[in-house]
Chains A and B, each alone.
Chain A
């Protein structure tokens, strides 16, 4: 197999490190902050850093979509939900007691350690070692992805549009106040 081992440039290394550190730091802030607004802003930072990582993988179309859809549309939805239900909680962590919490952290950490160890062990295998396969023209731009979407993936594409329509109607139905809510006088 013709394996092209393009050595990463210094600039590429620095970009990867900065983006990866930004994504992880944002994720850490998201799951530890008490205030929902601060957590949301860190989540937006994580998504922007992830979009940068997509761009370094030459997935340019997905990088733009990540910023538009995730950091834009979905986060606006979250901000509206935070506006409606915003209240800071006294006990943000679900598990009570130092022992139970440390056991949970240990269990998650051990699972992570095992999988990361597996990846590190297999890092010389074919898929994990390559920086990139020989460059394909138009790899990851809107045109080639669109051609794939409307040929091989036409049925899933139409199915996902039906899913989105269902989600919109269901969301309106669920979040709407009960019928006649506005007319009723004070109970």
Chain B
């Protein structure tokens, strides 16, 4: 398939992830949507890497994967810590840091 088909799929996935980040209230769902966005970015990188015959895109996608693992670990730890003190993870009601 030509690479613009892959780019369009990646765009759809990225915008679904953006919709999830903006519209959900549960912090867990927001983290899942961020994972969707990262996966969509990797797909675009790999499509361009294939089109240009350049494997450096694969290496960057590899780094994105490692970064996503770190982000999930820290994000979920924060969610668990917030749940332990507040007994809820509703992003609309967590506003202690608001000035």
- Whether A170 pairs with B32 at a CB distance below 8 angstroms is no
- Whether B55 pairs with A145 at a CB distance below 8 angstroms is yes
Residue of A nearest to B26 (CB): A89
Digitize A35-67: 1 where CB-to-B-CB distance is under 8 Å, 0 elsewhere. Answer: 010011001001100100110111101100110
> B-side binding surface: helix, strand, loop or mixed?
helix
Q: List B contacts of A112 (CB < 8 A).
A: 11-12, 15
| B97 CB-CB contact with A under 8 Å | no
Q: Report Cα–Cα, A175/B52, bound state, in Å.
A: 43
Digitize B37-59: 1 where CB-to-A-CB distance is under 8 Å, 0 elsewhere. Answer: 00100110011111111011011
CB distance from A120 to the nearest CB of B (A): 7
Q: List A contacts of B13 (CB < 8 A).
A: 23-24, 27, 46, 50
**CB-CB under 8 A for A59 and B11, given A81-B80, A148-B59:** no
Task: Please count the residue pairs between chain A and chain B whose beta carbons lie under 8 angstroms apart in the complex.
Answer: 240
CB distance from A3 to the nearest CB of B (A): 11
CB distance from A56 to the nearest CB of B (A): 7
Q: List B contacts of A140 (CB < 8 A).
A: 49, 55, 58
Residue of A nearest to B81 (CB): A174
**CB-CB under 8 A for A59 and B49, given A53-B6, A104-B22, A175-B77:** yes
Digitize B12-32: 1 where CB-to-A-CB distance is under 8 Å, 0 elsewhere. Answer: 110111111011111011011
B residues sitting closer than 8 Å to A (CB atoms) are 1-9, 11-13, 15-20, 22-26, 28-29, 31-33, 35-36, 39, 42-43, 46-53, 55-56, 58-59, 61-63, 65-74, 76-81, 83-84, 88-92
A residues sitting closer than 8 Å to B (CB atoms) are 8, 12-13, 16, 20, 23-24, 27-28, 30-31, 36, 39-40, 43, 46-47, 50, 53-54, 56-59, 61-62, 65-66, 69-70, 73-74, 77-78, 80-82, 84-85, 87, 89, 91-95, 101, 104-105, 108, 111-112, 115-116, 119-120, 122-123, 127-134, 136, 139-140, 144-145, 148-149, 152-153, 156, 160, 163-164, 166-168, 170-172, 174-175, 177
Additional pairs, 18, CB under 8 Å, beyond known A66-B65, A70-B68, A136-B53: A36-B28, A46-B36, A47-B39, A53-B43, A57-B49, A58-B50, A59-B61, A77-B76, A93-B24, A94-B22, A94-B91, A108-B18, A127-B51, A131-B2, A133-B53, A149-B59, A152-B59, A174-B81
Q: List 24 A-B contacts (CB under 8 A).
A: A30-B16, A30-B36, A31-B33, A57-B47, A58-B50, A62-B62, A69-B69, A70-B39, A77-B73, A78-B76, A92-B26, A93-B23, A94-B22, A104-B23, A112-B15, A128-B2, A129-B3, A132-B51, A139-B55, A148-B56, A174-B78, A174-B80, A174-B81, A175-B77
